[in-house]
Amino acid sequence: TTPEVTPCPRAIPADQATVNNVTYLLIPEATRAQLGSAVTVRLIPCLYSLVLLLGLPANGLALWVLATRAERLTSTVFLMNLAAADLLLISVLPFKISYYFLGNHWPFGEGLCRLTTAFFYGNMYCSVLLLTCISVDRYLAVAHPFSSRAFRTPSLAAGTCAAVWLCAAALTLPLALQRQSYPLLGAGLTLCHDVLPRHEDDGFYFHYFVALIACAFLLPLLLL
């Protein structure tokens, strides 16, 4: 038998059926039960709601203080960008919360589904890369306080952050370019990224996420 290839590690593979020129997804009953479980439609949105309630004022205040009150140091620049990355994730959490509370139904359209998916992954990888930069900056400040002073400047830190944002955007661009929302046959639900059809380019998604892990996990791990 041919081994099953999933579109990506976080999505469930599904077959397709076309009815009246509309592409639907077909999933087994066990998968439907998993998507409708209390963990998915109750616990996850409650946790996201807690993150939203705590993260929005905390990161907003942190960004305001760092931008207006703190001394402009390299660490300040990195922390400002880290708070901004968290706020980007928080900005799409209301859509994710509604999606799960509605029983895995996405009523917001394909564009917002792609944007939410890209922001969700983008925040994770951007945060990892920024934390790596902060760790390297702290190491240089402690281990080489004098020799590193020449290039540990706010302007260089800002350029590094710009490169991190561009890297995160490049890493998540394929998610924004691929269709992410599909209706589920016989359920009256439209799923967003949780279930994706098996395509001829499944191998692309596999190699794409392997590259993501290498760039945004293994490389920072080696540096740290």
pLDDT for 133: 92
Reference 53, options 100, 90, 98, 96; nearest CA is 90
* Cβ neighbours of residue 59 closer than 8 Å, sequence gap 6 or more: 83, 86, 87, 90
pTM comes to 0.83
| 197 bridge partner residues | 14
For residues 89 and 59, is the Cβ–Cβ distance under 8 A? no
CA distance 124 to 142: 27
CB-CB neighbours of 159 under 10 Å? 12
The CATH architecture one would assign to domain 21-223 is Up-down Bundle (1.20)
- Spatial neighbors of 35 by CB under 8 A, at least 6 apart, are 27, 104, 191, 194, 195
Sheet holding 12-19, edge to edge: 189-192, 181-184, 22-26, 12-19, 195-197
CA distance 215 to 222: 11
Report the b/e string of 116-142 with b at 16+ CB within 10 A: bbbbbbbbbbbbbbbebbbebbeebee
**Per-residue pLDDT for the chain (224 aa), expressed as one digit of tens each?**
444 444 444 577 777 888 888 888 888 888 888 888 899 899 999 999 999 999 999 999 999 999 998 888 899 999 999 999 999 999 999 999 999 999 999 999 999 999 999 998 888 889 989 999 999 999 999 988 888 888 889 999 999 999 999 999 988 898 898 889 999 888 889 999 888 887 745 666 777 778 878 877 787 777 77
Task: Please give the pLDDT value at position 200.
Answer: 46
**pLDDT (0 to 100) of residue 130:** 93
